[in-house]
């Protein structure tokens, strides 16, 4: 089916909605009414229509970063199976390739944070680099758990392997992946996406100098990355439903997204942010879970 080649558009087009739903759930959790779930779309339209204020000290990196971040995230989205594991034209890709495509975007975003020459951008960048160093080994180990068990690093193959998610190793790997998901999407307890306190920002610090269309691209890319990681969690750890007829597969996929989004909103509402130097304990703990999971997978295979 030709449609399968464009399944990544689901992520591109629905990622603002997922963000809107998470924000709505958070608002409800705090006893507020909150904005409508389509607000992120309106925000994007608003930002694209606005002019931009750009620092005089900004170099070409600053101008290039929004495009690199957006396109690398888009490319990563094309590598994951969303509702079908078959895609003839582009072909679905390798999970390792996926994470390092995302890393390209992060690299440019960190550079852009430093480029504008403000203190907050630099702070955000240095903290982002610190978090990235801690998250990367853990997320790769969690992914390898699935890869070793499924004898493949192809996202499509892993997603269409419905028998493997019963192992206890998967529970450990999923826990590690969930922590990584929080860190990668810049949410509490790692980062606070709603804060106005510039001294505490990580992701918001890096994008603080952006405005207008560039900011829209970066925000959109951030939401796409969030939904991409949700999708990957669904593919690797809850791989049922892929390959059904598109409608049923889509419904099942939507349910998975909603559950993950709700879990994230609940975590974010009920917890305080960690002190930044306690992040290594949280992320280190998750790393140990990931390590245990891969050891148990290898041990069980022998």
Partner 1 sequence: MTPRNIENYHRVQPGEFAARCAGIFHAGGKLRMMFAADERETDGRMNIYAVFSSIADHGSFDIITTAVEDEGGFRYQSITPRVPAAHWYEREMACMFGIVPEGHPDLRPLVLHGMYPEGVFPLRRDITAADVRSKVDLAKDDAYPYKTVEGEGVFEIPVGPVHAGIIEPGHFRFSAVGESIYFLDPRLFYTHKGVEKLFEQVGFERGIQIAERISGTSSFCHSTAYCLAVENMRGVEIPIRAKAVRTFLVELERLYNHIGDIGNLCAGTGFAAGYAGGAELKERLMALNHRLTGSRYLRGVNRLGGVSRDVLEDVESISAELSVVTDEFKAVMKFIMSSISHMERLEGPGFLSREAAVKLGATGIAARASGVNDDLRTAHPNLFYDRIIFEVHTRNRGDVLARMMLRADEAACSLAMLRSILRKAKPQKKELMAADAQQDARPADIGGGRQALGWVEGARGSIFYFVKAAADGKSPLRVKVRSASFCNWPLLPLAVLNDIVPDFPLINKSFNLSYSGCDM
Site for partner 1 in 30-49 (CB under 8 A): 30-32
Q: What is the dihedral of CA 98, 104, 107, 111, to 10 degrees?
A: -150
Of the pair 76, 202, the CB lying nearest partner 1 is at: 202
Task: With H, G, I as helix, E, B as strand and everything else as coil, classify residue 148.
Answer: helix
Look-up of token digits 């997204």 = 257
To the nearest whole angstrom, how small is the minimum distance from the Cβ of residue 51 to partner 1?
Answer: 19
> What is the rounded CA–CA span in Å between residue 166 and residue 169?
8
Of the pair 136, 198, the CB lying nearest partner 1 is at: 198
Does 276 engage in binding with partner 1 (CB under 8 A)? yes
- Near partner 1 by CB under 8 A: residue from 43, 115, 123, 235: 123
Identify the CA nearest to 38 among candidates 18, 24, 20, 13.
Answer: 20
Of the pair 74, 188, the CB lying nearest partner 1 is at: 188
To the nearest whole angstrom, how small is the minimum distance from the Cβ of residue 39 to partner 1?
Answer: 17
Report CA-CA distances (Å) from 261 to 25, 47, 203.
Answer: 9, 24, 19
- Cβ proximity of 129 and 136 under 8 Å: no
Does 274 engage in binding with partner 1 (CB under 8 A)? yes
Site for partner 1 in 192-251 (CB under 8 A): 192, 194-200, 208
To the nearest whole angstrom, how small is the minimum distance from the Cβ of residue 123 to partner 1?
Answer: 7
- Cβ proximity of 258 and 109 under 8 Å: no
- Cβ proximity of 244 and 252 under 8 Å: yes
Task: With H, G, I as helix, E, B as strand and everything else as coil, classify residue 286.
Answer: helix
To the nearest whole angstrom, how small is the minimum distance from the Cβ of residue 28 to partner 1?
Answer: 11
Does 53 engage in binding with partner 1 (CB under 8 A)? no
Of the pair 11, 134, the CB lying nearest partner 1 is at: 134
Given the rule CB under 8 A, which residues bind partner 1? 26, 29-32, 119, 123, 188-189, 192, 194-200, 208, 268-277
């Amino acid at each position: 089916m030709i449609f399968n080649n464009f399944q990544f558009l689901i992520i591109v087009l629905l990622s603002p909605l997922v963000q809107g739903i998470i924000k709505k759930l958070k608002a409800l959790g705090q006893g507020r009414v909150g904005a409508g779930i389509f607000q992120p779309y309106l925000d994007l339209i608003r930002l694209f229509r606005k002019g931009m204020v750009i620092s005089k000290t900004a170099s070409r990196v600053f101008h290039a970063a929004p495009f690199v971040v957006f396109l690398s995230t888009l490319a990563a989205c094309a590598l994951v199976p969303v509702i079908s594991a078959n895609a003839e034209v582009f072909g679905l890709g390798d999970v390792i390739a996926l994470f390092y495509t995302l890393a390209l975007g992060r690299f440019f975003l960190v550079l852009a944070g430093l480029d504008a020459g403000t203190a907050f951008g630099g702070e955000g960048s240095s903290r982002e680099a610190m978090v990235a160093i801690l998250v990367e080994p853990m997320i790769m180990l969690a992914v390898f758990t699935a890869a070793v068990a499924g004898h493949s690093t192809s996202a499509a193959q892993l997603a269409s392997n419905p028998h493997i998610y019963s192992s206890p190793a998967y529970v450990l790997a999923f826990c590690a992946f969930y922590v990584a998901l929080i860190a990668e999407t810049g949410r509490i307890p790692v980062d606070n996406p709603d804060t106005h306190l510039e001294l505490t920002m990580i992701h918001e610090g890096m994008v603080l100098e952006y405005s207008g269309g560039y900011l829209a691209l970066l925000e959109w890319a951030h939401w796409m990355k969030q939904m991409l990681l949700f999708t990957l969690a669904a593919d690797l750890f809850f791989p049922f439903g892929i390959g059904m007829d598109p409608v049923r597969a889509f419904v099942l996929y939507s349910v998975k997204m909603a559950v993950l989004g709700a879990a994230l909103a609940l975590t974010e509402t009920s917890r305080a942010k960690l002190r930044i130097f306690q992040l290594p304990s949280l992320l280190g703990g998750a790393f140990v879970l990931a390590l245990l999971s891969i050891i148990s997978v290898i041990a069980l295979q022998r």
